[in-house]
Amino acid sequence: MADDRDHAGELGAGDSASADVVDARPDRSSFVSSVFRKKNKNGSTRSVRIPRDRVPTYQYNMNFEKVGKCIIINNKNFDKVTGMCVRNGTDKDAEALFKCFRSLGFDVTVYNDCSCAKMQDLLKRASEEDHSNSACFACILLSHGEENLIYGKDGVTPIKELTAHFRGDRCKTLLEKPKLFFIQACRGTELDDGIQADSGPINDTDANPRHKIPVEADFLFAYSTVPGYYSWRNPGKGSWFVQALCSILDEHGKDLEIMQILTRVNDRVARHFESQSEDPRFNEKKQIPCVVSMLTKELYFPK
């Protein structure tokens, strides 16, 4: 599917010239803050910080020379054989993400219009680099997609084949470090109509240098939508998920824990966006992102 059914936008933004779209194509037969607002006496608002207890034992160590590498794969144009349309608006996403992750301290590189082989090669080579002086790794995929698949410019490739390069048994210098994947792409062709609503302590084993770590541990996958559904993108503003992600990261990226951040992203996408399309089949649709976490500790980006 595509994350580009360019027929949706922020709620109330009824600009037909910038209708929202999904990052999929319907016919795929040829392809398999802890901050609350309080009013003071003169009626203005001020931020009130709520104390938060952090237990270092349960947090990832971010005290490294580098935060880490961030790879952004931005696929906008696709070979005719794929049947996929141009993903207008994705350059807005890539630009916003570049600035956002660079401000978090990542070393960010953007790669445009990658083939499936190119995506595999980029991530394989990244996994073979020495990350000993890095706290974590991040990868952002912007493309058309289907369930468990992501499009290169020339076809589809399994997402798992891209991410598996960073398993604990294959990328030793990222062992026990967070590996973050953000995926803006469709995961099916279902549409969400929406529904009206009212408003343990460490034990001796942990200190044993011989203890085992699951090879799939310390991954986090933040998908723009849940399995089976379209993912929406606005040609003028970018995808809903990336707009929300960058907004929350800019505001709370160095304050909140990653799951708190992504929960707020879920809330923003769910409540602030609704598709606007001249095609009634795609009008007034909703979207909810999906977070799959195998993280074993809390993740706070360094201030």
The yes-or-no answer on residue 186 being catalytic is yes
| 224 Cβ contact list (under 8 Å, min separation 6) | 3, 23, 183, 184, 185, 231, 239, 240, 241, 242, 287, 289
* Contact (Cβ atoms closer than 8 angstroms) between residue 232 and residue 8: yes
Q: One of 100, 114, 116, 186 is an active-site residue; which one?
A: 186
Pairing of β 219-223 and β 179-184: parallel
The yes-or-no answer on residue 116 being catalytic is no
| 172 Cβ contact list (under 8 Å, min separation 6) | none
* Contact (Cβ atoms closer than 8 angstroms) between residue 232 and residue 145: no
DSSP state of 252: H
For tokens 């090669």, the residue is 121
What does the alpha-carbon distance between residue 156 and residue 143 come to, in Å, rounded to a whole number? 10
What does the alpha-carbon distance between residue 143 and residue 237 come to, in Å, rounded to a whole number? 16
Q: One of 144, 165, 171, 246 is an active-site residue; which one?
A: 144
Question: Long-range contacts made by residues 31-34, C-beta under 8 angstroms, separation at least 24?
Answer: 31/82, 31/83, 31/146, 31/155, 31/156, 32/149, 32/156, 33/251, 33/252, 33/255, 33/256, 34/255, 34/256, 34/260
For tokens 């990328």, the residue is 171
Angle, alpha carbons 291-294-295 (nearest 5°): 100
Write out the catalytic residue numbers. 144, 186
